[in-house]
Amino acid sequence: MTENHATSESTTRDEQALEALLYRLADDEFVLAERYTEWQIYAPTLESDLALSNVAQDEYGHARLWYDLLQDAFDYTEADVLWEREPADFRHSTLCELPFADDGWGDVIVRSYLYDTAERLRLEALIDSSNPTVRDRVEKVLGEEDYHREHAISWLERLAETDEGNERLQAAVDRLFPDALSLFDSGPHEEDIVATGLRTETLDDLRTAWFDTVIPTLEGHGLTVPDPDDVDRPDARGRDGSHTDDWFDMHETFTATYHELDFDQPTRLRGEEA
Amino acid sequence: MSLEGPPGPDRPDDGPDGPADPNGTTSSSRGQACGYTSYDDGEAPDEYPKTGDGASGVEARVWAELYEVEDPEMPVSVVDLGLIYDVEVVDGHALVEMTLTYSGCPARDMLQGDIHDAALRADGVEAAEVDLRYSPAWNVSMVSEDGKDALREFGLSV
């Protein structure tokens, strides 16, 4: 093996790991934001409607920031990373894609709490990433995430105060916990993501930290959390490209307008290229 | 910034949908500022905000043009808002580095387009490129004194 060959192999390995890491981040944020928007005009109060819309807007912003980086690093277009990407190539956790349970405000709150706690942990594990372009974005994103957890926790407390609210939360925990575990499932190039220092924690360590936070918190609100070892995991894990049927329906819905409009280039609002 | 975005995720003294702002944004800014931007205090990193002070030649002309670009919904220039992180012109090619107050800023494309066009208007610039940067993360202390005056005049408490 020549030296050049070795260098190029190692470059490829770094690039593949970066790409895999960015898709995990971006897809989670985008798909969950897309689900949250279904609550617009349906949330229990006007304030909660606006609050959840803002959370969705944040997550879209973060998705865009990671998709931007994919475009910068790999010369992809926005269509490549999103609109024309095969649904089976998306790497988000199945927690993000599940439809909400009927009448499921408790589902929104539990999902947001489980997700945003995981989100904080994994962003913190990127603060010292070996990749400067990843590192540079983390502080901004982390700073915008605090509110999401405050929102979820304040609603957890509020719902947990009544029997009915508690039942809804418990139903949501029972429903969502098995899929939430897929947040920490490995996908392509996971070993290289850690070996190259892109992320400074392993998924196992992140999952342990997440258990240490979410289990006592939920139990502290009178909820029963399944023993992770006894959870019957769904077949679809998301991270490996396996998804629920609901994801494929959702993908068809959110790409429908793109295909109808038949864009051949992005719209520009102003400027000499308009 | 976008004044007409939905109300912010959190402004003070809300109920469960808006936990009290731990950093004490004043209530007088409610409903008037960009709903997405946090006006919490922070510290401006060294060398920020960048104002173009000390620039010369074509780069000074680019800064002058950038001072003419206002936030889409507030009468304050993008330079005074602290959004411009760097300007460099090499052989007629201008590179402007900028940030956003909020990563999901709905006015992003508009701001980038306006800044791109402003750079092109500077004498000596043949081509312009606008890159987004997220570090250091913007906070309100990166608004210049002139910018703060403009925002106060507009009715914001900063």
Confidence of residue A65 (pLDDT cuts 50, 70, 90): very high
Confidence of residue A272 (pLDDT cuts 50, 70, 90): low
Cis amide leading into B49 (omega within 30): yes
Question: How far apart (Å, rounded) are the C-alpha atoms in residues A100 and B76?
Answer: 42
- Of the two residues B15 and A6, the one the predictor is more confident about is A6
In the predicted model, is pLDDT for residue A187 greater than 80? yes
Position A3 in a domain:
no
Name all domains of chain B by residue range, CATH numbers in brackets: 57-147 (3.30.300.130)
Question: How far apart (Å, rounded) are the C-alpha atoms in residues B64 and A126?
Answer: 37
Q: CB A54 to CB B38 under 8 A?
A: no
- pLDDT on residue B4: 36
Regarding an ipTM greater than 0.90, the answer is: no
In chain A, which residue's Cα lies nearest the Cα of B36?
A54
Position A5 in a domain:
no
Residues B85, B76 contacting (CB under 8 angstroms): no
Question: How far apart (Å, rounded) are the C-alpha atoms in residues A44 and B24?
Answer: 27
What is the residue range of A39's domain? 15-261
- pLDDT on residue B45: 83
Chain centroid to CA A83: how far? 17
Number of A–B residue contacts, CB under 8 Å:
98
- Of the two residues A75 and B19, the one the predictor is more confident about is A75
What share of chain B has pLDDT > 70, as a percent?
A: 76
Position A10 in a domain:
no
pLDDT digits (tens, 9 = 90+) for A106-160: 999 999 999 999 999 999 999 999 999 999 999 999 999 999 999 999 999 999 9
- pLDDT on residue A116: 98
Question: How far apart (Å, rounded) are the C-alpha atoms in residues A197 and A205?
Answer: 15
- pLDDT on residue B19: 40
Position A236 in a domain:
yes
Region B41-62: mean pLDDT is 89
Q: Exposed, middle or buried, A5 (CB in 10 Å: 0-12/13-18/19+)? A: exposed
Residues A73, A141 contacting (CB under 8 angstroms): no
Position A128 in a domain:
yes
- Per the structure, how many domains does chain A have? 1
Report A:41-80 residues touching B (Cβ under 8 A).
45, 47-48, 50-51, 53-55, 57-62, 64-65, 68
- Of the two residues A70 and B154, the one the predictor is more confident about is A70
Torsion on CA atoms A122, A58, A147, B76, rounded to nearest 10? 130
pLDDT digits (tens, 9 = 90+) for A72-112: 999 999 999 999 999 999 999 999 999 998 778 999 999 99
- pLDDT on residue B38: 72
Residues A218, A273 contacting (CB under 8 angstroms): no
Position A7 in a domain:
no
CATH number, position A176:
1.20.1260.10
If you average pLDDT over every residue of chain B, what do you get?
81
Position A121 in a domain:
yes
Position A268 in a domain:
no
Residue written as token pair 């989670």:
A28
